[in-house]
């Protein structure tokens, strides 16, 4: 085991050949089943049947059912992250990048919530149980956030006194009500104004 604990592995719980046609088939089947019936109501025997192999064979590729859940969850979160990164790239100023980062995350998460409730529940569970997929996602968001802030400091748009780590972790915490799936659901009413208010608050705090 050479797993890096400090940098959660999104491919945790995987086994056997890393890129194998069957692995992808399992993931595709799992995505479809989890979305239609939910993680709990899907049995690994169902997935086995869907790909046309025996249940035991599934375990050549994943250590456990939860590992499959991880993979699907990581995929969902990855889609959100990709959209967020795209939104960030569209913006020119660090301020605007900052806004778009969190707006995109909330928008995409809300979309998932309404369109694929069952996958959203999986992601919510991943977050509350602190699965590697969720931790990895948060780490990616924080990395992106840090880059934006550093950029803003270079351009003189943001203040430079506060230690960058402190700023980042504080912002991640302050935005938790919109990042953590369960909280997002809880704070749905009031969106998107409530989020804008918090973003404005933080941006005022970043002002030089």
Binding stretches for a copy of itself (CB under 8 A): 128, 159, 162, 166-167, 169-171, 173-174, 176-177, 180, 183, 186-187, 194, 197-198, 200-202, 204-205
3-class DSSP assignment, residue 59: coil
3-class DSSP assignment, residue 155: coil
Q: Which of 9, 31, 63, 111 binds DNA (CB under 7 A)?
A: 63
By the rule CB under 7 A, 55 interacts with DNA: yes
CB of 167 to DNA, least distance (A): 40
Of 42 and 107, the one with the shorter C-beta distance to a copy of itself is: 107
Under 8 Å between Cβ of 57 and 17: no
Of 24 and 169, the one with the shorter C-beta distance to DNA is: 24
Please, is 194 exposed, middle or buried when counting C-beta atoms within 10 Å of its C-beta (0-12, 13-18, 19+)?
A: middle
Phi, psi of 54 (to 5 degrees): -80, 160
Q: Which stretch binds DNA (CB under 7 A): 27-35, 50-58, 146-154, 182-190?
A: 50-58
Please, is 126 exposed, middle or buried when counting C-beta atoms within 10 Å of its C-beta (0-12, 13-18, 19+)?
A: buried
Q: Which of 31, 38, 60, 111 binds DNA (CB under 7 A)?
A: 60
Of 104 and 134, the one with the shorter C-beta distance to a copy of itself is: 134
3-class DSSP assignment, residue 175: coil
SS3 labels along 62-106: ECCHHHHHHHHHHHHHHHHHHHHHHHHHHCCCHHHHHHHHHHHHH
159 binds, among a copy of itself, DNA, none (CB under 5 to 8 A by kind): a copy of itself
Binding site for DNA (CB under 7 A): 17, 22, 40-45, 53-57, 59-60, 63-66
């Amino acid at each position: 085991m050479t797993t890096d604990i400090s940098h959660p592995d999104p491919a945790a719980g995987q086994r056997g050949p890393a890129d194998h046609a069957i692995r992808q088939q399992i993931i595709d089947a799992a995505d479809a089943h989890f979305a239609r019936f939910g993680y709990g109501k899907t049995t690994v025997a169902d997935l086995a049947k869907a790909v046309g192999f025996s249940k035991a064979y599934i375990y050549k590729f994943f250590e456990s059912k939860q590992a499959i859940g991880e993979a699907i969850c990581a995929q969902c979160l990855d889609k959100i992250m990709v959209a967020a990164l795209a939104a960030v790239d569209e913006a020119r100023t660090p301020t605007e990048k900052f806004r778009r980062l969190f707006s995109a995350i909330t928008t995409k998460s809300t979309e998932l919530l309404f369109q694929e409730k069952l996958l959203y529940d999986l992601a919510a569970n991943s977050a509350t149980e602190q699965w590697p997929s969720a931790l990895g996602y948060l780490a990616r968001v924080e990395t992106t956030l840090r880059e934006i802030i550093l950029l803003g400091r270079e351009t003189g748009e943001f203040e430079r006194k506060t230690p960058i780590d402190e700023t980042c972790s504080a912002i991640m915490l302050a935005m938790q009500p919109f990042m953590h799936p369960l909280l997002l659901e809880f704070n749905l009413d009031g969106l998107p104004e409530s989020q804008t208010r918090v973003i404005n608050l933080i941006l005022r705090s970043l002002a030089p």
